[in-house]
Structure 1
């Protein structure tokens, strides 16, 4: 499985964001890529590794404590019609709550990832 990682995309009020992903044809493969990402020490220590994928078995997502973020990723994948691919957005919490800005940052991270693979 090929995992593409875009590290240190941007930061806001101390929170740092990254995006990663790769081909996944099942929920098991998607989870395996998330697990592979978390083998990297920095990503294992991240506050949130939120992910989503459009799979033959249906859409799947995991907020990993970042409520609503998985749905943001899923909607973007649906718009792009990107099937059988998991996209993971990682956030290291910087100590200040970002409110609604966190969703814009998730979108920006997904956009950066999609731009990279297209």
Structure 2
């Protein structure tokens, strides 16, 4: 075992779990002249559903990429995609592999809080209108979903409401990082409802000649949401597009499920905008892609 691999194993097991990366079996130790086989099993708080992978690490790692030995499972296929995207010859990559899986799958959902027992006798109150926050969120959901597309260059996906939180995604074509940043700033500054959003998560991806990729993301305070959104654009092979997902918090914590909802909303906007080739339907295209 070389020093770089030894240090990376120690770091992984210190950061995540003592059993995050361990030798697959004693016999593998005897074959280190060729390749060593390890078991990678991040804790469920990091990757969920739980994932257990066998990884063959060559003796000249990190010059050569490790190999995922498992076949026939969705988790193994996903791990290969993440490994391909994070590996750079000469740089250790197992930590990036775990973090990439965390971005895609998320951790184990937080348990729902126990409902508080109702009082034995509640006073009878006259009917009253909903409280301002609830009314405001409902208004945001309806108005955002019915945006006038003729006056809005963004493709707006239908609002998603989950436990009083509202998610609305918008997508638009871009040709440069400067244009993407300008469009995002103009979108937020020009709409009071969007300004009142708890978070406006954004990401863009531009593919230039010779496959050069220009990309960036902003989680706007929703930690890790921006990088997850950027990973979605990469996984869907989105080109020359920017997506913004606005979330209005409804007072009930969603846990890791909020990341799924953010990506679901973003995916809908990208499909409606025609930025996903495999899902384009020219005969029934209801979305519109901004002309450049």
Single out whichever of 28-37 and 63-72 deviates more from structure 2.
28-37
Give the conservation status (yes or no) of the 8 Å contact 2:160–2:167. Answer: yes
Match of 1:77 in 2: 233
Match of 2:144 in 1: none
**Match 1:20 to one of 170, 174, 184:** 170
Give the conservation status (yes or no) of the 8 Å contact 2:172–2:273. Answer: no
Tell whether 2:184 aligns with 1:34. yes
Match of 1:53 in 2: 204
Cα shift at 1:80: 1.8
Give the superposed CA RMSD.
Answer: 1.7
Tell whether 2:87 aligns with 1:87. no
Give the conservation status (yes or no) of the 8 Å contact 1:72–1:106. Answer: no
**CA deviation digits over 1:53-102, x for unaligned, max 9?**
11356220000011111112111111221122111111001112211010
Give the conservation status (yes or no) of the 8 Å contact 1:2–1:23. Answer: no
Cα shift at 1:46: 0.6
Query: TM-score with structure 1 length normalisation?
Result: 0.89
- Residue 229 of structure 2 aligns to a residue whose secondary structure is helix
Higher Cα Rg: structure 1 or 2?
Answer: 2
**CA deviation digits over 1:13-61, x for unaligned, max 9?**
1110100121122222111221222111110111111011113562200
Structure 1: segments with no counterpart, 5+ residues: none
Q: Which of 1 and 2 has higher RCO (CA within 8 Å, sep 6+)?
A: 1
Match of 1:111 in 2: 267
Match of 1:97 in 2: 253
Q: Number of paired residues?
A: 117
Structure 2: segments with no counterpart, 5+ residues: 1-151, 275-292
